[in-house]
């Protein structure tokens, strides 16, 4: 557990955040149409 682990955790958090945003965006688009 070192700097590498922290960097990986940061990337995982970013990836999860992007996936959640994309899912929410697609749901909003589907509801708008």
Asked if the model's pLDDT at residue 1 lies above 80, the reply is no
pLDDT in the model for residue 2: 77
Q: What percent of the chain has pLDDT over 90?
A: 82
Q: What percent of the chain has pLDDT over 70?
A: 97
- Tell me how far apart the terminal alpha carbons of the chain are, to the nearest angstrom: 47
* C-alpha distances out from residue 13 to 1, 7, 9, 19, 32, Å: 17, 10, 6, 10, 29
């Amino acid at each position: 557990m070192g700097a590498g682990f922290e960097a990986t955790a940061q990337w995982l958090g970013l990836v999860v955040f992007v996936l959640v945003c994309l899912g929410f965006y697609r749901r909003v688009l589907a509801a708008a149409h």
